[in-house]
């Protein structure tokens, strides 16, 4: 049986000239969102709550109140 590899959009690194929601660790609690609750932005692109993206090898998950939460790392072969 083959393992299923999930592909997430590669968004690159945050561009300081474009809107990006705050990126926090799993343990960070007090965060001031910069977008309305209900979604996140990364380099000006909008994402919905629950969406996963890759910034380099770092997996980020969009969570309320509109922040990216670090969800792990993805190796070069998607593992």
Q: What is the pLDDT of residues 29-79, one digit of tens each?
A: 555 555 556 899 999 999 999 999 999 999 999 999 899 999 999 876 555
CB-facing half-sphere around the CA of 66: CA atoms within 13 A: 16
Per-residue confidence (pLDDT) for residue 7, from 0 to 100:
81
Secondary-structure breakdown of the chain: helix, strand, coil percentages, each rounded to the nearest 5: 0, 35, 65
Answering whether pTM is above 0.85, one says no
Work out the end-to-end distance of the chain between its first and last CA atoms, rounded to an integer number of angstroms. Answer: 16
Order the strands of the 52-55 sheet from edge to edge. Answer: 23-24, 67-73, 58-63, 52-55
CB 23 within 8 A of CB 68: yes
């Amino acid at each position: 049986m083959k393992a299923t590899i999930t592909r997430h959009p590669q968004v690159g690194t945050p561009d300081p000239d474009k809107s990006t929601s705050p990126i926090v660790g799993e343990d960070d609690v007090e965060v001031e969102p910069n977008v309305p609750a209900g979604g996140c932005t990364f380099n000006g692109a909008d994402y919905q709550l629950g969406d996963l993206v890759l910034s380099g090898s770092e997996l980020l998950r969009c969570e309320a109140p509109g922040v990216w939460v670090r969800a792990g790392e993805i190796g070069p072969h998607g593992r």
